[in-house]
Amino acid sequence: MERKSIESSMIRSIGFDANSSILEIEFNSGAVWQYSDFPESEWYIFENAESQGKFFHREIKNQYPESQVG
């Protein structure tokens, strides 16, 4: 999945596949996680959030099926 780099103290890059509704996040630690059943509407909010890290903790973490892929 193609990801775009972002400026964040905890997240290096983010990507979204609308066909499979999968959000992919690469953390600054190098770990890559995928979040399933992620709504496309939430992707646009996440992508444009003032703080993707805060949004992640508030709206994504423990809210969607997740798996570490890298």
DSSP lists the bridge partners of residue 22 as 17
Q: Within 10 Å of residue 52's Cβ, how many Cβ atoms?
A: 20
Per-residue pLDDT in tens (0 to 9) along the chain, 70 residues: 899 999 999 999 999 999 999 999 999 999 999 999 999 999 999 999 999 999 999 999 999 999 999 9
